[in-house]
A and B are shown apart, each in its own frame.
Chain A
Amino acid sequence: MIVERWINWVTLLAFMVVPLWALVTDEPFTITLATRAAILALAAVGLNIALGIGGLVSLGHAAFFGLGGYAMGILAFHAQNYTPLELGPFTTEGTKSMPVIWLTAIIAAALAGLIIGLLSLRTAGVYFIMITLAFGQMFFYFAISWSAYGGEDGLSIYVRNGFPGLNTLVPIQFFGICFVALCLSLYVHWRLRSSPFGLALNAARQVPQRVETVGLNPYRLKLVAFVISAAITGLAGALFADLNRFVSPAMFSWQLSGELIVLIIIGGVGRLMGPVIGAAIFVALEHWLGGLTDFWHIWLGVILLLIVLFGRGGVVGLLTGKAGPHV
């Protein structure tokens, strides 16, 4: 436990130091890489609440990531083109304000999480995986056919959205925003995990029927976790879209859902810092190995294989010598 605590602090410190070092040595691209890792980590922290604590293997979390991305894309698109966005009786001119976009992304993803969760959590195991995958694909194909917002080609946003008091075009400042969001999500995960709700959710993952005999409704517990998880992943989607200033149906793809799961497995399922370490390794491999060969995913596959076979607690499990709760 003490070792894991150290790992957690060192990981967070490293996440802070690398971009600062890149700032000093004038390497803005490294800051962008760190920002990408922070955003992917944020999405995976969201998924880790459902997967790590609740045991919900969702292959549809890209739906929430994409919804967050499109919330940003649509609002910013209307703001930059000065065209009104009509939402039934309401009309808005869109916005370039990050806080408003984040709130929209969180609400949209949480609502989608609620609807998807209400239906999919009635199933378990492989059926749950398949239903979440199906929902994800529904969003993916809808985005492809949504020509008003770029369809298959996606949507470009020319200028990054703004945050009061900051210049978000400066890489280190945008990294700061993403890093704070990541820290907040980690805090939410940490508090949730040790709260009576988190303990009950963890118990529901282990023995659902016994949880009922102590008066807890496993369906409701999992639904709440799924919605919180979706909301965090939606926020990550909005930040990711702002990082790239581009949204496309790829944000909804099932490959992205799979990658989020891979990040968590590499770092350690159910571990606080598992998604963060997993995302850092993923982005590092993507950058370094991707520069050497187009087939870098093969090496990622080898790492995943080794972890699943020999280190099922992920990197955190290997470092602490404890496999963790999901082995």
Chain B
Amino acid sequence: MSLLRLANLTAAYGPVPALFGVDLEMASGEVLALMGRNGMGKSTTVKTICRMIPSAGELSFNDNDLHSLQSHQVARLGIGLVPEGRRCFRDLTVRENLTAAARSGQWTVKTVGDLFPRLEERAGQRAASLSGGEQQMLAIGRALMTNPKLLIFDEATEGLAPIVRQEIWAAITRIKKDTGVSIILIDKSLKELRQVADRAVILARGKTVWAGSMHDLNAETSAQYIGV
């Protein structure tokens, strides 16, 4: 049974159409790389899943039609988002950021602290005073605190120093290994995606143009649709 299913999904920003037919299906425990060049609809697809923009077509999670739900209800169903640009709650401390999002489950302030010791060290510090990498860790921790069934990373390593990127990828790998949570990854690092993801879906001009196992993604396809 599929955990998340998008079929012929269309979406628009007001009068401007952005998605023209996205098809995507993923099973529980799977890690899926959502790929494509800039402006091809990856983040829009994520926003559509999280019900931040209106859409049409099939959009279901755990057999629940997401179209009838609001953004916060989608999150309560078990879809966690690590948004592009981090967007932490700047006036709250690290601990408060995590507590504000907390729901019962295996992820607690302590287990997030184990995953990111840097956050534990800065538990009493305001989010606004953290470095970019630490804010990204906090954004991941905050999403984990909702104890999601599906975790979406939208450009989680963008604009970070290489050493921090390594830490983030290590954390994602550990989340995959330790929890078995389903993951959608949007990222430009093909090398890391190949190591972590099981399957890939490629978007071009707001449509799904390729879907398959990560092993089947050959150089020709990636060069054609991703540019690497």
Question: A202 with B71: in contact, given A196-B99, A213-B81, A213-B83 (CB under 8 Å)?
Answer: no
B87 within 8 A of A: yes
Using Cβ atoms and an 8 Å threshold, which residues of chain A touch B52? 209, 213
Residues of chain B in range 129-149 having any CB-CB distance to chain A below 8 Å = 142-143, 145-146
Please state if B83 and A216 are interface contacts (CB–CB under 8 Å): no
Interface string of A181-208 (1 = CB under 8 A from B): 0000000000000001001101100110
B210 within 8 A of A: no
Q: Are B99 and A214 in contact (CB under 8 A)?
A: no
Interface residue? B76 (CB, 8 A): yes
Q: How many residues of B contact A (CB 8 A)?
A: 27
A-contact bits for B89-107, CB 8 A (1 contact / 0 none): 1111000110111110000
Query: A213 and B71: CB pair below 8 A?
Result: yes
| Residue B75, interface by CB 8 Å | yes
Q: Give complex CA distance A202, B52 in Å.
A: 21
Total number of residue pairs linking A and B with CB closer than 8 Å: 67
With A212-B75, A215-B146, A216-B72 as contacts: A202 and B50 at CB distance below 8 Å: no
Looking at the complex, which one of A202, A209, A217 makes contact with B100 (CB distance below 8 Å)? A202
Contact B92 A199 (CB under 8 A): yes
A206 and B90 contact, CB distance less than 8 A? yes
Q: How large is the interface on A (under 10, 10 to 19, 20 to 34, 35 or more residues)?
A: 10 to 19
| A202 to B89 alpha-carbon distance, docked (Å) | 8
Chain A, residue nearest B98 (CB): A199
Contacts of A325 in B (CB 8 A): 91
A210 close to B (CB within 8 Å): yes
Question: A215–B76 contact, CB under 8 A?
Answer: yes
Q: Are A212 and B91 within 8 A (Cβ)?
A: no
Taken together as a complex, chains A and B put the C-alpha atoms of A37 and B89 apart, in Å, by: 34
A202 to B93, alpha carbons, bound, how many Å? 11
Cα(A8)–Cα(B113), bound, Å? 32
Contacts of B103 in A (CB 8 A): 215
**Chain A residues within CB distance 8 Å of chain B:** 196, 199-200, 202-203, 206-207, 209-218, 325
Query: Top 4 closest A-B pairs, CB basis?
Result: A215-B75, A212-B71, A214-B101, A199-B100
Given contacts A196-B99, A199-B92, A207-B87, 4 further A-B contacts (CB under 8 A): A210-B83, A213-B72, A213-B80, A215-B75
